[in-house]
Structure 1
Amino acid sequence: MLDWASWILGMFYLYGHLIGVSNFEFDWRTGRVFKAKRSTLYAIAINFVIIISCTYHWTRRTNMMVVIFGKANKLHEYVIVIMTGLRIAAGLVTLVSRWQWRCEMMDLTRKVIRVFIARPQVKRMSRWKILTKFLTGALTDLLQVLITLDAMGRVDSEFYLGMGLQYWMLAILNLSISQHYLIMLFVRTQYQLLNADLRRVIEETKELSRNPPGQGTFITRCCSLADQLEDIAKLQNQLQSIVNQLEDIFGLQGVMVYGGYYLSSVSTVYMAYSILIHGYEDMQMTVFTMILNLFWCFFYYLNGMLNLFIMLYVLDDHGEMIKLLEERTIFAPGLDVRLEESFERLQLQLIRNPLKIGAMQLYGVTRSSTMALFGNLITHSVVLIQYDMENY
């Protein structure tokens, strides 16, 4: 049977090297993470080309508005220029941070593969989510290529470099958030397995406390359950270490990427309003261009929402583990001291080391903060539209 999940992960791996994001190599089967001359030199060359192209493009001072809109007021120009600049800056920050955090990224990859090898069923449990991420990312990049090709029919050759750079930067950002998603997906699947193991240990402990067998069997089963709890605590600590290290490495990228998503959402609402008011013909857009942009927006934002939800799900699974441990209060007295201490140590570990997900400690990812973010998005979109109505 074709292992298509491994094939997709291999595609992510090769694509990362192709566009210059990855600068080291690893082997899923052995867990070996290493630096290689070919990948290092290729990444240096590609990154150098990107930086030189960006420098040349911005010194040319060309106006990119006609790429999409033929008739645009100053506010349209400001919005598009800000979004274009932010995407290119975020892409460059991603490339620079991959060199700055190269050793830490290799260490993180080593930890993820080690945990993955210990429980290979993680890949089978995650295969449909891996496929979903692959399809949304691939369709986002494909639609961006089609939009670029469609725009090339309406602009001069001097704009080709700028459009190519925008596509390249979006591809880099897309792959970066996909890598973040895959790591969080494996962490979430491991949490699900841990919670299943913990639930089974708790049920066995309940049964053991209510119907204790003979003395020798009782001690043996208590020791076995205590060993299982220690394994759960050890793996949970490793998973939390991965999440914390992931936040450190992707911190600045996360701020720029999700800041970009926020500003892009505001600008998308504003541009949609402009098209509805002026009509797509007055904006010199075709029906085909409208359809391409509509589908691109759908998959672009779906891609970002997948990352957001996987982080919320990890927090939920962590919270479920804490709730499961609260059931230890209903155990009948008389359990082995070592088993009681194992439960207590795991519970204290979760209390003393609460799991928090955020970006550079600027904001935390929670359901309440997400709802507040959507509320601010609506507010800022309305303010921008009102400004347009009053001044243009």
Structure 2
Amino acid sequence: MDVESFLLGAVYYYGLFIGLSTFEFDWNTGRVFTSKLSTLYPLATDSCIFILYIYHWTGNTYIANAIFSKANMLHEYVVIIMTGLKIATGLFTLIHRWYQRSEMMILTAKVLRMFMARPQVKRMSRWGILIKFISGSVTDGLQMAMVLNTMGSVDSQFFLGLGLLYWMSVIANMAIVQQYMIMLFVRTQFQLLNTELRQVIEDTKELQLSRRHQGVFITRCCSLADQLENIARVQSQLQTIVNQLEKAFDIQGALIYGGYYLTSVGNSYMAYSIFKHGYENMNMALSTVILMFLWCFFYYLDGMLNLRVMLHIQDDYQEMIQILGERTLFVGLDVRLEEAFENLNLQLIRNPLEIKVIELYSVTRSTTMAMFGNLFTHSILLIQYDMEHF
């Protein structure tokens, strides 16, 4: 078994173990199915989570005191908002997965069919899978270490709340990993299509320079037209997958984006508080500070990987349009080949690929930079408020 197959299998079984995945599939046959295990086990696991949260509904109110020991009111408000959003994201993800079980099965079947048709995608995605696996595992591991680090400083009731918070974070993170893997495969498929399209363009250029026999010329034109039609078919399937994935993760995507945003503002303020007062004056252990800063590093690295793959998909799509633009240099081609070029061009123009969050926020480089600017501004405002009132 190769490394990428092992990592994909680990992600698959871990999703089943934590109660996120509600169906199974076979990598070898592409069959997507439900079973008693994939139905009853996540149902029991998710029910336990909700029951424990009902039992411990008010446990996270003073979570800031468990981390800092000496926390002012603003610290508590910031941590409560960050914690509440994490809990809401995790619980919504569980409910949403059951609600969209059929849609997710259909989407998974489409991805697997394309995956089996082009098995080289797995090999080409090796480094993307490996880096994501490492960043996600280290992020969850550091968060678990922070939870265990509080043992002895809090009672069992509060420790239960921290454990449930960790569970919600793991569920949200695993949902992001699953989305990332699909987007990574889509991006690799686009890379393959661009390579094939470049080859078609080069073959067409050579065909124009060596028009010796009419029969051979027409045969090669038909072969190139078949290749273009296959590229257009695969591109349409990839765009359908992106659109379905966007709908499946619409509200969850908004919660995750909001979580990254608010967590970034909150972490900036917490880092300022530590440097302002000193971790000793806030009764924090050095191990807690180190774990928090390490977790922040890998947390944002993990988020940048998610953002990077979405931006690269749009770059590959634009590259396809640029490659196809070279068709204007061709004259005197067979009618069917010219129609294949034109149909692919119209397909790309009429239905441009866009990645949005609940049809309101487009994920592009410009909007990302604007978000970073707003994040920086809101962090400064929060710090200024602390300087004036605390």
Work out whether residues 62 and 159 of structure 1, in 8 Å CA contact, stay in contact via their aligned partners in 2: no
Tell me the SS of whatever aligns to 1:239: helix
Deviation at 1:39, TM superposition (A): 1.1
What secondary structure is seen at the aligned counterpart in 2 of 1:23?
A: coil
User: Which residue of structure 2 aligns with residue 335 of structure 1?
Assistant: 333
1:135 is aligned to: 134
1:167 is matched with 166
Work out the CA distance in 1 between the residues paired with 2:60 and 2:80. 11
Flag the 1:59–1:273 CA change in 2: closer, same or farther, 3 A: closer
Check conservation: 2:60, 2:80, Cα contact below 8 A. no
Query: Which runs of structure 2 are paired with 1:108-119 in the superposition (5 Å)?
Result: 108-119=107-118
Amino acid at match of 2:328: T
Correspondence for 1:296: 295
CA contact (8 A) 2:59 2:161 kept: no
Corresponding residue of 1:376: 374
Counterpart residue number, 1:235? 234
1:148 aligned residue: 147
8 Å CA contact retained: 2:56, 2:157: no
2:335 matched to 1:344?
A: no
Deviations 1:333-369 (A, max 9, x none): 2110000000000000000000000111120000000
Where do 4+ consecutive residues of structure 1 move more than 6 Å?
none
Q: Shift in Å at residue 67 of structure 1?
A: 1.8
Alpha-carbon contact 2:60-2:158 (below 8 Å) kept: no
* Counterpart for residue 91 of structure 2: 92
Amino acid at match of 1:171: V
Residue 178 of structure 1 corresponds to: 177
SS of residue matched to 2:307? helix
Q: Distance in 2 between matches of 1:257 and 1:191?
A: 26
SS in 1 for 2:56: helix
- Alpha-carbon distance, 1:287 to partner: 1.4
Aligned length: 390
Question: Is the counterpart of residue 14 in structure 1 residue 13 in structure 2?
Answer: yes
Alignment RMSD: 0.9
Identity of aligned residues (%): 63
Q: CA deviation at 1:46?
A: 0.6
| Rounded Cα–Cα distance in structure 2 between residues aligned with 1:116 and 1:99 | 25
Q: CA deviation at 1:210?
A: 2.7
Say which SS state the counterpart of residue 113 (structure 2) adopts: helix
Aligned equivalent of 1:255 = 254
Letter in 2 for 1:98: R
Displacement of 1:238 in angstroms is 0.3
| 1:364 counterpart residue number | 362
TM-score (norm. length: structure 1):
0.98
Aligned-partner residue type, residue 88 of structure 1:
I
Query: Using the alignment, how far apart are the partners of 2:351 and 2:231 within structure 1?
Result: 15
2:336 partner amino acid:
R
Q: Distance in 1 between matches of 2:302 and 2:146?
A: 18
In the TM superposition, residue 213 of structure 1 has moved relative to its aligned partner by 2.7
Any conservation in 1 of the 2:59–2:157 contact (CA below 8 Å)?
no
Q: Indicate the larger mover: 83-92 or 145-154.
A: 145-154
Are 2:304 and 1:305 equivalent residues in the alignment?
yes
- Contact 2:22–2:39 (8 Å) recurs in 1: yes
Aligned AA (2:345): Q
Cα-to-partner distance string for 1:276-316 (whole Å, 9 max, x where unaligned): 00000111111111111111111111111100010000000
Distance 2:137 2:12 in 1: 14
In structure 2, the gaps of 5 or more residues are: none
The Cα of 1:66 is off from its aligned counterpart by 2.1
CA apart distance, 1:156: 1.6
Q: Which residue of 1 aligns with 2:389?
A: 391
Name 1:31's counterpart in structure 2: 30
TM-score normalised according to structure 2 size: 0.99
